[in-house]
Amino acid sequence: MRKELKKVIEKIAIKAASSNVNETCSWITYQPKVPESVKKLKKH
């Protein structure tokens, strides 16, 4: 059960990171730095 839960959490984290790297912040003044490992998930 723990392995299955770990896999689900990993998939959710990857989906969240990939969707966040393809979006920009709606506030002009603040855009957090994106780690290099997450930039690899960016769609071109």
> What pLDDT digit, counting tens, does each position of 1-44 carry?
888 998 899 888 888 877 776 666 666 666 667 777 777 766 65
- Provide the pLDDT for residue 8: 92
Residues whose CB is less than 8 angstroms from the CB of residue 31 and which lie 6 or more positions away in sequence, other chains included:
24, 25
Chain position carrying tokens 């780690």: 35
Number of domains in the chain: 1
Q: Does any domain span residue 32? A: yes
Domain span at 13: 2-39
- Provide the pLDDT for residue 19: 74
- Provide the pLDDT for residue 10: 86
- Quick check: helix, strand or coil at residue 7? helix
Q: Does any domain span residue 44? A: no
Q: Does any domain span residue 26? A: yes
Q: CB–CB of 25/32 below 8 Å?
A: yes
